[in-house]
Amino acid sequence: MPNREQMLSIQFKNRLGLLNHLDFSAVDIASAHHSLGQDARGQIAKILAKRLDDMSGEPQVIDQVRRAHRAYTALENKTRLPGLDQNIKTAVQNYIDCLSAWAQGAQLADFRHHNLPASQDGQPILAEDLATLLQEDEGGCQTGAYRERDGSVILWHAEEDVETQPGQRFDKLRLFSFRSAGGQTATGFIYPDLLPGPTFGWQGADFAQAIDTLHVRNVHFADGILPNTLAWLSLYLGAQISRRELATKLGPFLGGYSITGVCKSNSLVSVEKVEYANDQVHSSVLPESPGSFLFQTNIIGDLSLPIGAQEHTSPESRAWNTTRIMRTARLMRVVKNCTDARPMIFRLLRSNLGGESAYSNRDVKAYFVCHMQPGKTSIWAGPGAAMKDDPLFIMEK
């Protein structure tokens, strides 16, 4: 396998412009996240102000700050759990350090808002409280994984975010690279107000992941952490650990996500999907048989499982997501007849069939395709909905 990484930038015009690559993999991980906070500082303040504006007043703001502070404290407590693997404890501490560094880079300690008091419960509101508050977020996406005839896997993802006003969430599109576990470089697509992890990303040539929000019941756990935290830890640790082990050992959670991770080990490519919601975890794997596929949207896959009781969404939303699943299943029947599935996957990502529920809809901010083969990993990512011949960032290793 060639020991090189090739990154190509091609101009592509859309409202948000180019996919900007922020490569801070040469510095320590906390400094990298500090620089990320600096880069998005203005947009972070804008998003935080909008969130506070949308709250009903100071009492609701205090309630949300308390919730964030409890989640942050619960995360600190995880580093002291007896029996927890030291590698996980170290990863959690690194996340805490990076969240604090990101908050410093964004100058959240200096943030002021008419709905935000100086203190709550007699304690000052910290920059880390505001940073944690921002990390509690939900979005809408689609992820799939397909097994080729040679045992390789294609992972694809469309990252969607609804902006009622242009520029409300995104000022520009960012890919962020940082030094992760084992000295590997991890790269992830970034929402301006979120740390890397809860979108799509990869670590070296041996791991890639894509994340989808699950809309679940609002349950309070004194030791609950945010789903976004696990997404960061998954990207940071990569192939060193399974997603199920992470979710089982670090739960419960204040919400839910699905993580689809693709790993390569000893020339074998495996896929694990874990759905975690509140205090429930369910995992599944992609079979080794050619033509097998997994697909995920923003609903829990099987409501008959214990995790199914955690779902909280409208019948209309579930029907809408089910339509997406059925449409993809029909295409997979066509893909199985192809000797090379990759062109068909790109065709799917470019499709506007289904209007607002299509892969190529107006809310797509970026798309991602990873083809992990025993001897080579290739990655394509581009801005907005996929279009013909428009990959903006390519990695081959």
Helix H segments across 171-271?
227-237, 243-250
pLDDT tens for each residue of 98-121 = 999 999 999 999 999 999 998 888
Q: What is the mean pLDDT of residues 307-330?
A: 94
Token output for 147: 């097994």
Angstrom distance (rounded) from CA 190 to CA 106: 15
Angstrom distance (rounded) from CA 296 to CA 321: 9
pLDDT tens for each residue of 197-223 = 999 999 999 999 999 999 999 999 999
Q: What is the mean pLDDT of residues 242-260?
A: 97
pLDDT given for residue 119 in this prediction: 85
Which residues have C-beta within 8 Å of that of residue 165, sequence separation ≥ 6? none
pLDDT given for residue 3 in this prediction: 33
Phi, psi of 218 (to 5 degrees): -85, 105
How does residue 313 score in pLDDT terms, banded at 50, 70 and 90? Answer: very high
Which residue, among 386, 395, 393, 396, has the nearest Cα to 11 in the 3D structure? 393
Angstrom distance (rounded) from CA 271 to CA 109: 41
Angstrom distance (rounded) from CA 372 to CA 369: 10
Q: What is the mean pLDDT of residues 60-81?
A: 95
Q: Looking at per-residue confidence, does 66 or 358 come out higher? A: 66
Strand ranges in 31-184 using DSSP code E only, listed in sequence order: 119-120, 123-124, 140-147, 153-160, 173-179
Q: Hey, is 325 helix, strand or coil? A: helix
Phi, psi of 245 (to 5 degrees): -60, -45
